[in-house]
């Protein structure tokens, strides 16, 4: 045990996986609880969405600052402060007495999550050299893939058998253990020449990403041409355009946009944004389809979604073994083609289709995503220096967050445009399966675009991650490890 705790690779892996799994579980559990929260606080379903929107906007505002804060003040310090904030805000959410209080505490949660995710990822990539990155991908899989799949199951159990408050209380024990373990065993890391805090960059990035995220989440509900959505969306895009111009001119930018000139990093991010939008959009859509169109319970919907996680776990063992021989390009293209066909298959599910058909399709989606996720995580930082890892991790996290919002917003717009209800022959309302089918086909189309993007990933740039055994390391530059 002492040998295990002396190795920072293992320590960082334990802290990162446990806290990131906590983060992803929280988001999906809360989604399951929205209908219950709407009844509890006596507000409309449209109003209760502020619980989700407040969290996502806060994430978008604070995430750009994470890379600089971790480099300047130390990754251990910032990560643990973020985890304390997230855990404390979870406790406050559980005792909230009104919707306004709950939204405020979710904003605090989002601030903690926005700092915790990129800093934790940077710690993990700095600990593992390129030739061990496929192992990093296997670690990250537990946090970023299993969380969205297991969340609906846990949320369904909590809603059916416990109070909605336990959707937030469940975070506390894991958070406290992570804080204590991290304080005791994590080592500090910081960069000497992090530069001054980029105030214009922070203000432009936070406001631009926040407004854009708000518009994407509200567009499907209020309509993309509504004054609120249109004005916030346009303002967000203008601020982001100004942000890009400012960041390319300052000596120490908060967001290192020049990293996107790295062709491997850019290629991997292009695959990820479309692949994640399709996959995460489908994970959002399926429980909604099962509960609203087929009348299944929240627990049944969660259990039907869960085979995706099993597919990831099973397929991961194969992908990890063949990655060094095949490389990321062909593996990701194959995986996303498989995901495209299986998500498309969900578009043919009807009222009488056996749930076991849906479960098999979800299992195959998980199999395909393992071919995407592991190569993506292994290769994305292959040509990024250790010094730039914090900034690259932040960009990768922002991209994934935008991909999730894009997928959900696009599929929600399809549902709203076609209409989730139709008038039956007897004049009553009934679920409109065509809306859900069209949304599944759109999610499949996003995955297909990701498969096409994967064809342009340069395998030769990821060669360091495909080697077995030790390789030459880059020199350490301007860093302090305590």
Confidence (pLDDT) at 141: 67
Topology annotation, domain 2-197+254-481: Growth Hormone; Chain: A; (1.20.1250)
What pLDDT was estimated at residue 444?
95
Sign of CA dihedral 376, 377, 378, 382: positive
Predicted local distance difference test score (pLDDT) of residue 475: 38
pLDDT number for residue 361: 95
- pLDDT on residue 39: 78
pLDDT score recorded for residue 90: 92
Q: How many CB atoms lie within 10 A of CB 317?
A: 10
pLDDT by residue for the chain (482 residues), tens digit each?
566 556 777 788 888 888 878 877 777 788 777 777 877 888 765 566 678 777 877 887 788 888 778 888 888 889 999 999 999 999 999 999 888 899 899 989 988 988 888 888 788 777 777 777 676 666 666 666 667 667 777 887 887 788 889 888 988 998 999 899 888 888 887 776 666 777 887 888 878 877 887 787 677 667 777 888 889 889 988 988 888 888 778 777 777 778 888 888 889 989 999 998 899 888 878 888 888 888 887 778 878 888 888 888 888 888 888 888 888 899 999 999 999 999 999 999 988 889 999 999 999 999 999 899 888 877 887 787 777 777 777 788 778 878 877 887 788 888 888 887 777 666 677 788 888 899 999 999 999 999 999 999 998 888 877 765 444 444 343 343 33
Cα angle 387, 392, 396 (rounded to 5 degrees) comes to 160
pLDDT of residue 452: 95
- Cα-trace Rg, the chain: 22
Main-chain dihedrals φ then ψ at residue 428, nearest 5 degrees = -95, 165
Helix (H, G, I), strand (E, B) or coil at 479: strand
Could you tell me which residues come within 8 angstroms of residue 7 by beta carbon, excluding any fewer than 6 positions away?
none
Query: Both tokens of residue 169?
Result: 């209380």
Distance CA 450, CA 267 (A): 10
- Contact between 407 and 280 under an 8 Å Cβ cutoff? The reply is yes
How many whole angstroms from its chain centre is CA 6?
30
Report the predicted TM-score, pTM, of the whole model to 2 decimal places.
0.80
Q: What is the pLDDT of residue 144?
A: 65
Q: Where do the domains of the chain lie?
A: 2-197+254-481, 198-253
């Amino acid at each position: 045990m002492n040998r295990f705790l002396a190795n920072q690779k293992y320590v960082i892996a334990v802290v990162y996986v446990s806290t990131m799994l906590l983060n992803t579980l929280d988001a999906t559990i809360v989604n399951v609880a929205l209908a219950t929260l709407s009844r509890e606080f006596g507000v409309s379903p449209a109003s209760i969405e502020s619980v989700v929107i407040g969290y996502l906007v806060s994430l978008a505002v604070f995430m750009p600052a994470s890379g600089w804060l971790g480099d300047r003040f130390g990754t251990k310090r910032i990560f643990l402060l973020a985890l304390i904030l997230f855990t404390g805000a979870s406790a406050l959410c559980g005792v909230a007495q009104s919707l306004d209080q709950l939204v405020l505490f979710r904003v605090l949660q989002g601030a903690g999550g926005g700092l915790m995710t990129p800093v934790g990822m940077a710690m993990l990539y700095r600990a593992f050299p390129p030739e061990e990155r496929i192992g990093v991908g296997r670690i990250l899989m537990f946090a970023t893939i299993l969380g969205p799949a297991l969340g609906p199951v846990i949320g369904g159990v909590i809603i059916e058998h416990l109070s909605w408050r336990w959707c937030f209380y469940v975070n506390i024990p894991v958070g406290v253990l992570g804080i204590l373990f991290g304080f005791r065993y994590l080592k500090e890391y910081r960069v000497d020449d992090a530069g001054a805090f980029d105030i214009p960059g922070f203000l432009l990035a936070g406001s631009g990403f926040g407004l854009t995220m708000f518009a994407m989440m509200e567009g499907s509900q209020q309509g993309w041409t509504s004054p609120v959505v249109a004005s916030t969306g346009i303002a967000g895009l203008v601020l982001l355009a100004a942000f890009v111009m400012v960041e390319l001119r300052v000596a120490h930018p908060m967001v290192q946009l020049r990293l996107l000139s790295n062709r491997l990093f850019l290629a991997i991010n292009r695959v990820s944004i479309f692949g994640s939008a399709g996959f995460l959009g489908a994970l959002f859509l399926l429980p909604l389809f099962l509960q609203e169109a087929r009348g299944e319970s929240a627990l049944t919907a969660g259990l039907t979604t869960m085979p995706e996680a099993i597919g990831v776990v099973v397929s991961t063992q194969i992908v990890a073994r063949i990655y060094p021989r095949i490389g990321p390009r062909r593996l990701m293209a194959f995986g996303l083609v498989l995901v495209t066909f299986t998500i498309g298959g969900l578009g043919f599910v009807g009222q009488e289709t056996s749930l076991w058909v849906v479960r098999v399709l979800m299992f195959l989606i998980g199999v395909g995503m393992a071919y995407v996720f592991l190569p993506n995580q292994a290769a994305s930082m292959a040509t990024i220096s250790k010094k730039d890892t914090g900034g690259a991790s932040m960009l990768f996290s922002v991209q994934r967050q935008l991909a999730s919002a894009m997928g959900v917003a696009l599929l929600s717009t399809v549902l709203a445009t076609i209409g989730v209800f139709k008038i039956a022959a007897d004049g009553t309302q009934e679920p409109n399966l065509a809306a859900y089918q069209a949304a599944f086909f759109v999610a499949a189309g996003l995955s297909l675009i990701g498969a096409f993007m994967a064809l342009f990933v340069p395998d030769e740039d990821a060669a360091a991650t495909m080697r077995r055994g030790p390789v030459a390391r880059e020199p350490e530059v301007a860093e302090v490890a305590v």
